[in-house]
């Protein structure tokens, strides 16, 4: 690949610091990869800093041709920047590509960009666009097109445009800030951030950040499939399925490194894994989108081996601090204390994950700081609740009717009950649950992973954020977080992170029992289709052995 030619002397100063930390064992290799590549260091160069050779991307090259049938929900399409489910993006990944991609090893790889560099304090990013990329209508990809996409992402007036929040350092009054995106030449643009934001490049790997052609009107990317990728849609039926085929009229920039399959068929079999199982047994699907719980083993039993992705995806059993009795920190801490996260992991998620510590920062996040974890003391919990005069109060824990989420909440509630505190469980169907997910007094929400620890904190725990479901508003926390957002150096940021994590623990913001590992089952002859930590289905790389 072209980007491996860059010399080590051009590398970002912080990347070398990270490499030293990694060699000294203070930083895991995975963390190092995320951090170094976020600063624009190419993956092979990053491995080089550690004195390692980059792992071979593919152990086995798939054969050309063949078709694949995959179980996945097919939802009605809409403007990519308003996508709220990864499935929506996965259908379009064959023709809509991204600036960069987040890889299974935690690194950020260039896609439509060839390389990028950050300045010392992460306020200016120079993006070099990959030369020779063509849209499937024959146009060349230019810097103007990319600038147009940044403008789209920053437009907060579009309902449900979640990219606007990710691009806040580039926007002003809900629009792209004047001069925030500078077109240097045909293949170079420069981003001028209003405040340091180390996550800006990582954010463009997120699924709503698909790069669209300037002619795209913002409704249906399947009806109007202009993109840079090697595939095109054949049919798309909401709730039923979608068929994608290789585009014979288009030369892909990455030709020879993918687009093995002739045809990919997504089949929507509803939400019941038993139905997927029946379809797999009848030979109607070759792989699942995501398998959970007992079904991971069941699929394995019928000859579809599992692949696992370790992630920082999680479930947040959170309190809404704006509502009584959860406005009382002692109540929140008491309920936390009544719950042993290990038991929740075992009963709620079949031990298919790693233990979490109630502060929503994961050991795989680069800036994770090790601090003393939560205390489990049911007797103390009971007496704290009594001291607050709530001995007779009946708490209520709400969850969606999803298998593992309901089981997790059941196990949380059972432990609270075992501590001698009254609690009732309520399970709501998906259609009604999401209506009010921000405002339930005590409920559980599924959170997908973000590569950097500060990203989730920015989205969910900063005062007044759109997705702040805990009602947590803490000035000290906000100030520290803003500070952390601009610090590229690991140790420095980790120090602040330790304080942030401690504040979240002290305030008893949520019970966050475990980090989920994600699973997928596929027939053994399918290559490169391992589960991805952010649910990406990059079928342009899938192939048959």
Partner 1 sequence: MLFFLARRVGVMLVTALCLTFVVFYLTNIPAKLETLAKTQAGSRISDAEVASWLDRNGYNQPMLVRYGEWLGVARGWTRQLDDGSMTGRCYLLTGTTIPGAAPERCGLVQGHWGNSTRFRAPVAEVIGARLGATGMLMLWVLIVMVPMALIVGVLAGMREGSRTDRTLSTFAIASTATPEYVSGVVFIALLASSTVGLSPLLVSWGWIEGPVLFQGNARSALEGITFWNFALPVMTVALYGMGYVARITRASMTEVMTQQYIRTARLKGVSFPSIVLRHALRNALIAPFTVIMLQIPWLLNGVVIVEVLFSYPGFGWTLFEAAANNDIELLLAASVVAVLVVLVTQLISDIGYVWLNPRIRVT
Which residue in the set 16, 354, 467, 489 belongs to the binding site for partner 1 (CB under 8 A)? 467
Nearer to partner 1 by C-beta: 3 or 166?
166
Distances (CA, A) of 315 to 312, 341, 352, 381, 516: 10, 12, 13, 22, 8
Q: How far is the CB of 10 from partner 1 (least distance, A)?
A: 40
Nearer to partner 1 by C-beta: 445 or 528?
445
Give the tokens for residue 111: 């896609």
Q: How far is the CB of 418 from partner 1 (least distance, A)?
A: 33
Nearer to partner 1 by C-beta: 57 or 240?
240
Nearer to partner 1 by C-beta: 302 or 545?
302
Nearer to partner 1 by C-beta: 65 or 270?
270
Q: Residue 478, Cβ neighbours under 10 Å: how many?
A: 18
3-class SS of residue 515: strand
Q: Which stretch binds partner 1 (CB under 8 A): 73-81, 102-110, 387-395, 486-494?
A: 73-81
Q: How far is the CB of 225 from partner 1 (least distance, A)?
A: 15
Q: How far is the CB of 313 from partner 1 (least distance, A)?
A: 16
**Burial category of 51 from C-beta neighbours within 10 Å (exposed 0-12, middle 13-18, buried 19 and up):** exposed
Q: How far is the CB of 494 from partner 1 (least distance, A)?
A: 30
3-class SS of residue 503: helix
Nearer to partner 1 by C-beta: 132 or 430?
430
DSSP labels, 66-119:
-EEEEE---PPP--GGG--SHHHHHHHTTT---SEEE-TTS-EEESSEEEEEE-
Q: How many CA atoms lie within 13 A of 213 on its CB side?
A: 20
Q: Does 140 bind partner 1 (CB under 8 A)?
A: no
Which residue in the set 117, 124, 182, 220 belongs to the binding site for partner 1 (CB under 8 A)? 220
Q: How far is the CB of 489 from partner 1 (least distance, A)?
A: 33
Nearer to partner 1 by C-beta: 207 or 368?
207
Nearer to partner 1 by C-beta: 107 or 162?
162
Q: Residue 398, Cβ neighbours under 10 Å: how many?
A: 19
d(CA 90, CA 272): 20
Dmax over CA atoms of the chain, in Å, equals: 73
Enumerate residues 6+ apart whose C-beta is below 8 A from 178.
Answer: 172
What is the bridge-based pairing of β-strands 67-71 and 263-267? parallel
Q: Which stretch binds partner 1 (CB under 8 A): 199-207, 279-287, 341-349, 521-529?
A: 279-287
Q: Which of residues 98-117 bind partner 1 (CB under 8 A)?
A: none
3-class SS of residue 17: helix
Which residue in the set 85, 137, 375, 545 belongs to the binding site for partner 1 (CB under 8 A)? 85
In sign, the C-alpha dihedral spanning 332, 338, 341, 345 is negative
Nearer to partner 1 by C-beta: 114 or 265?
265
The conformation of residue 180, written as its DSSP 8-state character, comes to S
Q: Which of residues 239-258 bind partner 1 (CB under 8 A)?
A: 239-241
Nearest to 30 by CA among 368, 265, 410, 414: 368
Q: How far is the CB of 137 from partner 1 (least distance, A)?
A: 23
CA angle 505–510–512, rounded 5-degree value: 95
Nearer to partner 1 by C-beta: 165 or 373?
165
What is the bridge-based pairing of β-strands 263-267 and 306-319? unpaired
Size of the site for partner 1 (CB under 8 A): 39
Q: Does 63 bind partner 1 (CB under 8 A)?
A: no
Q: How far is the CB of 294 from partner 1 (least distance, A)?
A: 13
Q: Which of residues 280-339 bind partner 1 (CB under 8 A)?
A: 281-284, 301-302
Residue 366 host element (H or E) = none
Q: Which stretch binds partner 1 (CB under 8 A): 53-61, 266-274, 377-385, 505-513?
A: 266-274
Residue 311 host element (H or E) = strand 306-319
Please list, residue by residue across 287-325, b when 16 or more beta carbons sit within 10 angstroms of its beta carbon and e when fewer do: bbbbbbbebbebbeeeebebbebbbbbbbbbbbbbeeeb
Q: Which of residues 415-434 bind partner 1 (CB under 8 A)?
A: 429-432, 434
Nearer to partner 1 by C-beta: 436 or 476?
436
Nearer to partner 1 by C-beta: 74 or 457?
74
Q: How far is the CB of 276 from partner 1 (least distance, A)?
A: 8
Which residue in the set 57, 64, 76, 375 belongs to the binding site for partner 1 (CB under 8 A)? 76
Q: Does 278 bind partner 1 (CB under 8 A)?
A: yes
User: Are 337 and 378 in contact, with CB atoms under 8 Å apart?
Assistant: yes
Q: How far is the CB of 160 from partner 1 (least distance, A)?
A: 3
User: Are 99 and 146 in contact, with CB atoms under 8 Å apart?
Assistant: yes
Q: How far is the CB of 213 from partner 1 (least distance, A)?
A: 20
Give the tokens for residue 187: 């293949």
Which residue in the set 245, 425, 437, 530 belongs to the binding site for partner 1 (CB under 8 A)? 437
Which residue in the set 55, 65, 131, 270 belongs to the binding site for partner 1 (CB under 8 A)? 270
Q: Does 162 bind partner 1 (CB under 8 A)?
A: yes
Give the tokens for residue 92: 């379009």
Which residue in the set 10, 58, 84, 172 belongs to the binding site for partner 1 (CB under 8 A)? 84
Please name the residue that has the structure tokens 């992460």. Answer: 122
Residue 476 host element (H or E) = helix 475-485
Kindly list the residues in this chain that would bind partner 1 in the complex (CB under 8 A): 76-78, 82, 84-85, 159-160, 162, 220, 237-241, 267-270, 274-275, 277-279, 281-284, 301-302, 429-432, 434-435, 437, 466-467
């Amino acid at each position: 690949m072209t980007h491996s030619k860059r010399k080590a002397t051009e590398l970002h100063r912080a990347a070398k610091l990270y490499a030293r930390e990694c060699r000294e064992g203070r930083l895991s290799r995975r963390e190092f990869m995320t951090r170094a590549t976020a600063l624009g260091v190419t993956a092979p160069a990053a491995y080089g800093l550690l004195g390692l050779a980059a792992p071979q991307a593919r152990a086995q090259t798939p054969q050309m041709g063949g078709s694949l049938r995959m179980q996945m929900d097919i939802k009605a399409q809409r403007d990519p920047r308003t996508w709220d489910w990864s499935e929506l993006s996965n259908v379009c990944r064959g023709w809509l590509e991204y600036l960069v991609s987040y890889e299974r090893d935690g690194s950020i790889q260039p896609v439509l960009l060839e390389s990028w560099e950050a300045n010392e304090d992460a306020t200016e990013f120079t993006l070099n666009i990959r030369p020779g990329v063509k849209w499937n209508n024959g146009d060349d990809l230019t810097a103007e097109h990319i600038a147009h996409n940044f403008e789209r992402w920053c437009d907060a007036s579009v309902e449900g445009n979640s990219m606007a929040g990710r691009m806040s350092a580039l926007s002003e009054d809900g629009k792209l800030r004047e001069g925030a995106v500078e077109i240097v030449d045909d293949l170079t643009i420069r981003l001028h951030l209003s405040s340091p934001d180390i996550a800006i490049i990582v954010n463009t790997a997120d699924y709503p950040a698909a790069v669209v052609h300037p002619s795209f009107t913002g409704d249906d990317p399947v009806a109007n499939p202009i993109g840079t990728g090697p595939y095109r849609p054949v049919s798309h039926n909401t709730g039923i399925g979608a068929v994608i085929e290789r585009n014979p009229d288009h030369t892909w920039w990455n030709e020879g490194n993918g687009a093995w399959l002739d045809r990919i068929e997504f089949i929507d079999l509803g939400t019941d894994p038993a139905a997927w199982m029946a379809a797999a047994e009848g030979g109607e699907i070759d792989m699942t989108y995501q398998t959970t719980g007992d079904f991971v083993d069941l699929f394995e039993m019928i000859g579809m081996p599992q692949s696992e992705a370790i992630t920082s995806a999680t479930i947040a059993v959170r309190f809404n601090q704006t509502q009584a009795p959860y406005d009382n920190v002692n109540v929140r801490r008491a309920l936390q204390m009544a719950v042993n996260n290990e038991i929740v992991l075992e009963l709620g998620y079949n031990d298919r994950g790693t233990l979490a510590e109630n502060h929503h920062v994961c050991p795989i996040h680069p800036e994770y700081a090790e601090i003393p974890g939560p205390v489990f003391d049911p007797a103390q919990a009971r007496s704290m609740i009594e001291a607050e005069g709530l001995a007779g109060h009946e708490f209520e824990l709400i969850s969606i009717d999803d298998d593992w989420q309901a089981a997790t909440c059941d196990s949380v509630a059972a432990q609270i009950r075992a501590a001698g505190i009254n609690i009732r469980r309520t399970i709501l169907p998906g259609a009604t649950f999401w209506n009010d997910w921000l405002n339930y007094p005590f409920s559980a929400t599924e959170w997908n992973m973000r590569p950097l620890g500060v990203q989730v904190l920015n989205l969910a725990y900063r005062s007044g954020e759109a997705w702040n479901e805990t009602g947590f508003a803490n000035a000290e926390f906000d100030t520290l977080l803003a500070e952390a957002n601009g610090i590229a150096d690991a140790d420095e940021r980790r120090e602040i992170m330790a304080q942030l994590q401690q504040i979240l623990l002290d305030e008893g913001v949520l019970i966050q029992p475990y980090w989920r590992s994600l699973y997928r089952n596929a027939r053994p002859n399918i290559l490169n289709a391992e589960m991805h930590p952010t649910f990406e289905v990059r079928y342009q790389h899938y192939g048959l052995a």
